[in-house]
Structure 1
Amino acid sequence: MHRRSFLTSSLVCVSGVFWDIALRASGGFAAGTRERKRVLFFTKNNGFYHDVVRRKKPEVLSFAEQALVKLGESANVEVVCTKDGRVFDDDLDQWDAFAFYCNNDLTQPGEPDEPPMSQAGKERLLEAIAKGKGFLGFHSTCACWRTPGPAYVNAPKVDPFLAMLGGEFIAHGPQQEATLRVVSEVFPRSKELAPGGTIRLFDEWYAMKNFARDLHVILVQETEGMKGECYQRPPFPNTWARHHGDGRVFFTSMAHTEALWEHPFFHTLLLGAFDWTLRRVDVKLPPNLTEVTPEADVLRRDAKVSERT
């Protein structure tokens, strides 16, 4: 067990105050009366490094890490942050859910102070989720272990991690304002997201593929009027939930910009994600992919048929 490395990466600064996150299990500042839950937030990046999860100093949390820690505090959720992939070789039973803001092959070396996951650690993570743990994925997490081959073709088989997640990154265009449509009436807090049913937000938007058939889509990416070749296609899922074995999975392709992490809409969405993945609500989330995004598999607007192979 890599205790020393883990504790070092857990010493953080939030709003100028240092605390050892690994020692906060006592819940002295727990909010409300609900049972306190623990979420491991893993933000190792290989290749392109997203600024929102980059730490200016090893002991100071990144913007997104601070944001999720603070949001967790408001929901009686202890969020523990690390960039050390060796944690997945340790005791996973101590976590109720795992949150990822990562990219590329996390079993490969990257930044010198961010040890990679082992292949066994990756398998242990997926097994833990299948046995009932929760999972929250953000933005570039859908670009982990990408499928080889042509970008604009749906693959018959994807990496087990992406199969768990439910979709895969293709490309993105320029950051811009775009429309999201709320299509779930049963996902926790979904009725609080956008009273009019749609909202326009500024972010870096991902074009995606290889959608799992059992997705419960929460937000649809409306593509009409978007700038960028990768968006010239019918609407497709932006945010969803699904079951993975006995586990509960949530993913949103948003979360590139600091402004998005500060937006009340995003906070409400993530509070619902906590409720879902941490089993604080017991709701049925039926698959709705073909109902709300019937042409999600059409990756180019001029395609005459679905590009699923």
Structure 2
Amino acid sequence: MNRRSFLRTTTAATLGSWALSRPILAAGPKRKILFFSKSSGFEHSVITYKNGQPSYAEKQLLEMGPKNNWEFTFSKDGSLFNPQYLAQFDALFFYTTGDLCSPGTDKNPPMSPEGKQAFLDYVASGKGFIGSHSAADTFHTANEAVKGPDRYKNHGEEADAYVKMLGAEFIIHGKQQVSKMRCIDPRFPGMENHADGFSFQEEWYSLKDYRKDLHVLLLQETESMEGPMYQRPPYPATWARKHGKGRVFYTSMGHREDVWTNPIFQDVLAGGISWALGDATADVTPNIEQVAPGALTNPNYEEPKPKATPAAPKP
């Protein structure tokens, strides 16, 4: 696979048939964002390239970019991660899975351990980081198995450095269903029109190992949810936090195509990106202990039911 197949920069010269006619509404130089979607684990359909075209998520970002004066570079190449490469961007946006230091599922070049440290240092130096959905299913602590009782434990200060930067780690998800998001901070950018919360169909993540310094924006209501992984107190699903001098925004939403085109999700995402870039201000005083006191109460582990053995054919 050559570099062009997994690296694209969205400039006026390269957009071609993807170019948009909408005017740029923001003034000043464009803000440059790297959208990184390497899948060392499961590859979601919304970030899969088909017939050489941008992924579904990338198409939505290409529409959001001109309206906000953002220029996206799309890449699945972890080998590019070094201080010099990252220095050209104002923020990183991850939609990733697994151990990104391994070629894994999509076989695209992995990061080196030095590359991983470079982007953690990049964020801490004062840059922005945005994570959507499976960004929490990335760099699991101690590379533990996705299944098994240890997968449900909180690791605290022993958690992977990436997990501590992001603010939490994915455990498991159940069937897609309609669930309620409770808005905790309607003053945060993108939340202004959603103070009463909202509900829609999505693949909702159950998460663990929340950092104590999270500023929770959206809380996952669990009372009416189906599945043992959601039998727990309400827990953070979207948040902001400071990492060193940097700004980290994460939302668990983003699995389904119709979520990416949902105006609510687009509001939440645009507000989070603007804040992570430093173009919008917000009070991100930690509030997790006040608004989600049961956040570290994880669901009980249940052994998966064995698959039924097919009946032997009749002689």
TM-score (norm 1): 0.87
Q: How does 1:1-309 map to 2 (within 5 A)?
A: 6-11=3-8, 20=14, 30-57=24-51, 59-89=52-82, 90-111=84-105, 114-147=108-141, 148=144, 150-156=150-156, 157-192=158-193, 194-195=194-195, 197-300=196-299
Q: CA deviation at 1:11?
A: 4.2
Deviates more, 1:44-53 or 1:85-94: 85-94
SS in 2 for 1:116: coil
Moved over 6 A (4+): none
Deviates more, 1:69-78 or 1:121-130: 69-78
Q: Which amino acid is the alignment partner of residue 208 of structure 1?
A: L
Deviates more, 1:141-150 or 1:230-239: 141-150
Q: Per-residue CA shift, 1:194-243, capped at 9, x if unaligned?
A: 24x12111110000000010000010000011011100111000000000
Q: CA deviation at 1:7?
A: 5.0
State the distance in 2 between where 1:93 and 1:300 align.
40
Contact 1:30 1:36 in 2 (8 A): no
State the distance in 1 between where 2:97 and 2:5 align.
23
Q: CA deviation at 1:152?
A: 2.2
SS in 2 for 1:227: coil
State the distance in 1 between where 2:8 and 2:153 align.
43
Q: CA deviation at 1:301?
A: 7.7
State the distance in 1 between where 2:105 and 2:151 align.
27
Q: Per-residue CA shift, 1:155-203, capped at 9, x if unaligned?
A: 13211011100000010000010000000133213212x24x1211111
SS in 1 for 2:201: strand
Q: Which amino acid is the alignment partner of residue 132 of structure 1?
A: G
Q: Which amino acid is the alignment partner of residue 282 of structure 1?
A: T
Q: Name the counterpart of 1:306.
A: none
Q: Which amino acid is the alignment partner of residue 299 of structure 2?
A: R
Contact 1:217 1:237 in 2 (8 A): yes
| Distance change >3 Å, CA 11–CA 169, structure 1 → 2 | closer
State the distance in 2 between where 1:44 and 1:70 align.
22
Q: Per-residue CA shift, 1:254-304, capped at 9, x if unaligned?
A: 1000000000001111111121011112332110101111111111389xx
Q: Per-residue CA shift, 1:28-80, capped at 9, x if unaligned?
A: 964331442000000010232111111113x3111011112221221110011
SS in 1 for 2:126: coil
Contact 1:11 1:19 in 2 (8 A): no
Q: CA deviation at 1:19?
A: 5.7
SS in 2 for 1:52: helix
Contact 1:13 1:60 in 2 (8 A): no
Q: Which amino acid is the alignment partner of residue 199 of structure 2?
A: R
| Distance change >3 Å, CA 152–CA 110, structure 1 → 2 | closer
Q: CA deviation at 1:113?
A: 5.4
State the distance in 2 between where 1:52 and 1:113 align.
18
Count the aligned residue pairs. Answer: 287
CA-based RMSD: 2.4
Q: Which amino acid is the alignment partner of residue 6 of structure 2?
A: S
Q: Which amino acid is the alignment partner of residue 75 of structure 1?
A: N
State the distance in 2 between where 1:166 and 1:122 align.
17
Contact 1:142 1:169 in 2 (8 A): yes
State the distance in 2 between where 1:136 and 1:158 align.
20
Q: Which residues of structure 2 form unaligned runs of 5+?
A: 16-21, 302-315
Q: Name the counterpart of 1:24.
A: none
Q: Which residues of structure 1 form unaligned runs of 5+?
A: 22-27, 303-309
Contact 1:6 1:87 in 2 (8 A): no
State the distance in 2 between where 1:34 and 1:295 align.
44
Q: Which amino acid is the alignment partner of residue 206 of structure 1?
A: Y
Identical columns (%): 38
| Structure whose alpha-carbon radius of gyration is higher | 2
SS in 2 for 1:207: strand
